[in-house]
Amino acid sequence: MAIQEVRVRTTPYLEDIKGKYLLREIQNTLHINGITGLVTAKVYRLEGISVQQAEFLARRLLAEEVFQNYTVNETIIKDADKLVEVAYKPGVMNPEAGSILKAAADLGITEMVAADSSYEYGFYGNLTDTDTELILSRLLVNETVEKVVTEKPATLIIQGQPGGTRVIPIRNMDDAALLELSKDNLFLSLEEMQAIRNYFINLDRDSTDCEIETLAQTWSEHCGHKTFKATVLVNGQAKKPLYQRLRESTNQAAHPLVLSAFEDDSGVMHFYDGLALCGKVETHNSPSAIEPYGGAMTGSGGVFRDIMGTGTGAKVIASTDMFCFAPPDLPDDEVPPGCLHPHYLLRRVVDGVRDYGNRMGIPTNNGSVHFHRDFKAKPSVIVGAYGLIPAADAGKRRPVTGDLAVAIGGRTGRDGIHGATFSSGEMTSRTMDVNSSAVQIGHAIEEKRMSDALLRAREEKLIRAITDCGAGGFASAFGEMGEDTGVRIYLDRAPLKYQGLAPWEIWVSESQERMGLAVPPEHMERLEAICREHNVEVTVIGEFTDTGKLELFYHDELVGELTMEFLHHGLPKRVMRAVPQERPVQMIEPDYPRDWEHACIQVMQHLNVCSKEPIVRMYDHGVQGSSALPPFAGEAGNAPNDAVIIAPVPGKKYGAVIAHGLNPVLNAIDPYAGSIWAATEAVANAVASGANPDELMLIDNFIWPYPDEASMYDLDRAVDACVDFVRATGMPFISGKDSLSSTYRAPDGSVLKIPPVLCISCFGRIPDVTQTVSTDFKQTGSVIVLVGQREVQQMSGSSYFDITGAASPHVPVIDPDRLITTLRCLYQANRSGKVLACHDISEGGLLAALAEMCLGGGVGASIEVPAGERADYYLFNETAGCFLVELDDLTQAVELFMDVPYSILGKTTAEPNISVTQDNNSLFNIATAKLFAAWQKPMQEVFGGC
């Protein structure tokens, strides 16, 4: 069939924003200056329609006549010195293709059989072949999922015959053969492979590929949490599994607001008016490392579906993102083989989160970005979501025998195959080649339609149980749902993106935007009607049985049969040794600052301190009209708030607070102290904004190096820190995730451990969103109070020590028992209405917090460093759980904070300067404008101030 080509570009008299953006990247990032201009065009290929129909779609659908031109079957960039087209590879999900087909059908053109889209880039000027290759490899083409188009395709339809089901002769494999089978894709240990071999020996038959893939997915670290469920040996003494410790600490806390903890796709707490609030935070490190745009998109989409899969379906009301990268200016020769440059990773991860959240209409309103050189081999990409659901619908539900197994949402393809197992293994120089099929591109509009349909179905009580087709796809969803009963699946019924998938590929594919449902047969007709209304595909692919087995059929052939007992409980239990490693730290104290202005500017523009505003502005944090305390506030809207507060129910004053904390630098130095710091930072952010510490829930995300004995010891200490924090504060962990593959193995066998990350997310309820507190100073002449306990000599891990090359074994040590007293005191102070502004102290220390408050209020500050203190330590110490508070007068400080450590720092001033004295001597007086410029500079250089 004929393929018609439509090309669309911005009219020449208007600015080509995409071209301008790329030209700036080429000049500033790649330092290629021979290009004088760059324009872009979108190319649409439409198969099965006439030229006249293509003309109609170009005019009515593909081009906006006010500011775009189009051509049909002819070039549109005609005078460029070099023209390059870049497209997704065949089989990679292109979200636009499905939307074009559906939109064309809505316009009455049903003859189209396939569609695709790509970009053309027209370069002007002197561009060498070397320049072209560098631009393509660094900016335009990720070879994992994209290609340069060199000739017009003969067809857009992917054709193929599915391969048959293979029998794996596992019974006759020796240990070497078992390990060879596991390498690259299964990522199972020898003991685990032996257990599978013994299972099939006892059955007196060999395994099919469907069965071995199902076991690998279910037993993967990503899905099975094998390390967190292992017995831990420390100094020869057995300790309870990490997961058990976390659950027991939550159970012992017996928090009255907890509705569901570690039982469903997200944790759930009581909200107001019969509603419940749920939260989940996920990691998408491995996919993002090899395709950052798709990896981040599907990370967001996946965690949204975790909310949608809670109870019988929740509405997503907020999104968060926390990232860890190597510095964006890392020299090219320091990027490990097989890895992408951090500048590219940072930009494309941000693009992915932006595009998914914005397109779904979900506000991304809380997050952070952290930097460390050792993230050069693999970033940490953390995405979270929060939702609202009637409390009566919030409990975990299970299918019953006779329920239909229903697939809803997107179609199934090869994208995402081996995603769960791939995410469970360490990264190597071969990862991008071997595991490219684990990469996916998300389709936010598809998920939005599905979300709307599911909420209607929940309201009409049509769904018995629901879960996300996440890691492992149908294998994960229906394999887990059928654990207590049994399930029979007919794989040939699954809607496919294209032909040629083998049965095992259909079963374990992680193609996005799909959910698995258990639906009573009498409700199926109504569910189908709702899905038609929302343009969502829904298919019955099986039924839940009473056999206690997983049974997989393909065209009436039994291609897989496993007992649920072996699938879910046959995994050999691990015993993990934990051995402490020596961390000798030579004490190197920095010289006392001679140039205070330089020191302050260096701290403010440190990558872990500087403003992330260019990133935040790409996200629509007000899309649902619920933003009560946005990410930025102040006179000019450029002062960062500590937490986000939303009012998700129209017309109601009550709301939700969302915050988080993490510090990879401290975790690498002292995993216990760093973990306490992360939890403290999370709740301090929330309480500084007006939250009640006794109504907060916690979520843990452990992103850790592959657990050898040393890393296992550090992980054990981090979990102990979490348990101790719960016991001291009463704040329970109700959801979590572990990702234990932050290790890179180079071609020469050397190993780089990516810094360990514990991200603690925090969410809770607030009765009145009008009684919250922002960070910006409100007036001149106010009293500035420092609240909280800190030892300023504990400077290890600080930004100040980093820029001065100093070192110390003394990290900030936080006492959780004292902390909860301070938090409760601050909460009561905020409730009194006497606190004008409040900001917690974190990266950059007191000076950075003070500067941000001044910037927000358009004022200055005059403060006094106490006699006897080392002034640079006093200003730059980063102990979490301490706060700067603005009050009207001194008497209020005594009244509000008499029961906790506090001191009077100084006052706000009309002059836009920060003035610091000690012993009646001036240390420095610096204009806030200089600090502001330094603070904004790093991310503006990366993102161009967008």
**Binding site, annotated residues:** 280, 282, 305-306, 440, 468, 510-512, 700, 736, 739
Select from 921, 297, 945 the least CA-distant residue to 618.
945
Q: Please tell me the distance from the alpha carbon of residue 345 to that of residue 328, in angstroms, as a whole number.
A: 9
Separation of alpha carbons 540 and 490, rounded Å: 9
CA distances from 757 to 150, 222, 325, 667, 715 (A): 43, 16, 12, 7, 10
Q: What are the C-alpha distances in Å from 628 to residues 73, 658, 721, 770?
A: 50, 12, 33, 8
- Per this entry, what is the length of the chain? 946
3-state secondary structure 138-185: HHHCCCCCEEECCCCCCCCCCCCCCCCCCEECHHHCCHHHHHHHHCCC
881: left (phi over 0), alpha (psi -120 to 50) or beta: left
Cβ atoms of 567 and 215 closer than 8 Å = yes
Q: CA–CA separation, 910 vs 857, rounded Å?
A: 10
Backbone torsion region of residue 521, taken as left when φ is above 0, otherwise alpha when ψ lies between -120 and 50, otherwise beta: alpha
How far apart are the C-alpha atoms of 560 and 201, rounded to whole Å?
16
Cβ neighbour number for residue 171 with a 10 Å cutoff: 16
- Whole-angstrom distance, CA of residue 441 vs CA of residue 446: 12
The answer to whether 222 is a known catalytic residue is yes
Sequence-ordered strand ranges (E) for 817-919: 837-840, 860-865, 883-887, 902-909, 913-918
Residue of 284, 341, 443, 606 marked catalytic: 284
Distance CA 624, CA 155 (A): 41
Secondary structure percentages of the chain, helix, strand, coil, to 5: 35, 25, 40
- Starting at the earlier edge strand, list the strands of the sheet with 267-270: 258-260, 267-270, 275-283, 380-390, 315-325, 364-371
Tokens representing 177 are 């053969």
CA dihedral 266, 270, 273, 275 (to 10 degrees): 10
3-state secondary structure of 196: helix
Which residues contribute to the annotated binding site for Mg(2+)? 282, 306, 468
Classify the C-alpha dihedral 8-11-15-20 as positive or negative.
Answer: positive
Amino acid at 256: P
Which residues does 766 contact at the CB level (< 8 Å), separation at least 6?
Answer: 645, 654, 655, 656, 657, 690, 691, 692, 772
- List helix spans (H) across 392-544: 419-422, 431-434, 444-459, 473-481, 503-508, 524-533
Please choose, from the candidates 467, 552, 537, 558, the residue with its C-alpha nearest in 3D space to the C-alpha of residue 506.
Answer: 552
Nearest C-alpha neighbor of 897 from the set 828, 849, 842, 816: 828
| Nearest one of 503, 490, 420 to 167, comparing CA atoms | 503
Q: Please pick, among 222, 343, 568, 839, the residue that the annotation labels catalytic.
A: 222
696/763 Cα distance (integer angstroms): 6
Helix (H, G, I), strand (E, B) or coil at 907: strand
Q: Which residues are bridge partners to 119 per DSSP?
A: 42, 86
- Supply the Cα-derived Rg of the chain in whole angstroms: 28
Q: Exposed (0-12), middle (13-18) or buried (19+): which is 649, by Cβ within 10 Å?
A: middle
Helices (H) and strands (E) in the chain, counts: 30, 42
Annotated binding-site residue numbers for substrate: 305, 440, 510-512, 739
Ranges of H-type helices in 482-584: 503-508, 524-533, 564-569
Please give the C-alpha separations between residue 493 and each of 404, 411, 895, in angstroms, as whole numbers. Answer: 13, 11, 70
Question: Which residue ranges are tagged as binding site for ATP?
Answer: 280, 700, 736
- How far apart (Å, rounded) are the C-alpha atoms in residues 458 and 277? 16
Residues labelled catalytic = 222, 284
